[in-house]
Amino acid sequence: MKIYHSLDSFHKLEYAVVTSGTFDGVHIGHKKILSRLNELSMQSGGESVVLTFWPHPRMVVSEDSQELQLLSTIDEKIELFSQLGIQHLGIIPFTRAFSELSSEEFIQQVLVDKIGTKKLVIGYDHRFGRNREGSFEFLKKNCSSYGFEVEEIPREDIEDLAISSTRIRKALLTGHILEANDLLGRPYTISGTIVKGKQLGRTIGFPTANLHPHESYKLIPQNGVYVIRATYNNQVFNGMLNIGVRPTVDGTLRTIEANLFDFDKEIYGEDLRLELLHYLRPEQKFDGLPALINQINLDRESAVKYFSGLNN
């Protein structure tokens, strides 16, 4: 997959089959659009192109931009697009000036002049241009004058399960990790750097890797204990994860602490990727360390049983 971080670096294609959007989460609804994009590019002998925007438009134009939580970082999206067989990925820097482009200017300047669009694939109710004024109806009425065809993925094909990034965010924030993973079509991931914590875990027999996410806007799910799979240095480990403030030991700061099974290395400053597989329980305050240790042992037993079930 070729990646372009600006429109100026994109060389106009002879036959581009294009879709555009923010694609937060690259969930199964998005995958239907991308699958159709690949299908059309193969049928026509053209090349598939995804145009996405970074920063996320709401980070630039919305008053609540500081509160925005996203399902995927730009690096995660790049990886997912590559896995799905996209040939060209254009990452358009989203600025206030760019947000002022009218729908006609976006079509002519970006889709036609820069990309060489011959087929455009969009999801139902997709909007583009200043104030989201552009629509499928506008495209269908005017696409012949721009020299390309347009196809809309029907609502029933994308929202048969009411798939949306908003629904996935809500599921994650309420502990419904299985629902979120079903809608994503894969486990939700959090990647970050391992930093030093208070190292309490090792004193009670459960050493943890304290994860600092790579990006502050990455959505962190509801506090609680999760079954996870972790990737470190291309090796995969089963484990469990606590997200929360550790009330039993009078914690105040929210932490993300992973206990990896059969793993005893110190990896401060190194990267770790977590896949959240199952939600075990909410975070709770126990009457002292013995009660906490007993519960952690039960959590581990539950996690081991979960993985045993996967292997049967």
CA Rg value for the chain: 22
Q: Domain 2-158: give its CATH superfamily.
A: HUPs (3.40.50.620)
Mean pLDDT score, 73-84: 96
Helix (H/G/I), strand (E/B), else coil: 27: coil
Please say if the pLDDT value at position 260 is more than 80: yes
Instruction: Spot the catalytic one: 257, 270, 275, 301.
Output: 257
Per-position b or e across 120-154, b if 16+ CB within 10 A of its CB = bbbbeebebbeeeebbbebbeeebeebebbbbbbe
311: Cβ contacts below 8 Å, ≥ 6 apart: none
pLDDT band at 172 (very low <50, low <70, confident <90, very high): very high
Assigned CATH topology for domain 187-311? Elongation Factor Tu (Ef-tu); domain 3 (2.40.30)
pLDDT category at 132 given cuts 50, 70, 90 is low
pLDDT at 134: 64
Mean pLDDT over the full length of the chain? 89
Cβ neighbours of 168 (radius 10 Å): 25
> Which is nearest to 229 in space by CA: 256, 260, 265?
260
Local structure of residue 70 (DSSP, 8 states) = B
Ordered by start, the domain boundaries in the chain are 2-158, 187-311
Distance CA 152, CA 157 (A): 10
Q: Percent of the chain having pLDDT more than 70?
A: 90
Q: What is the mean pLDDT of residues 245-258?
A: 86
Known active-site residue 257? yes
Enclosing H/E stretch for 143: helix 136-146
For residue 161, what pLDDT is reported?
45
Amino acid, res. 264: D
Please state, in angstroms and rounded to a whole number, the distance separating the CA atoms of residues 117 and 189.
Answer: 33
Q: How far apart are CA 234 and CA 53, in angstroms?
A: 29
DSSP annotation of 128: B
pLDDT above 50 for 90: yes
Write down the pTM of the prediction. Answer: 0.91
- Categorize the per-residue pLDDT at 66 as very low, low, confident or very high, splitting at 50, 70 and 90: low
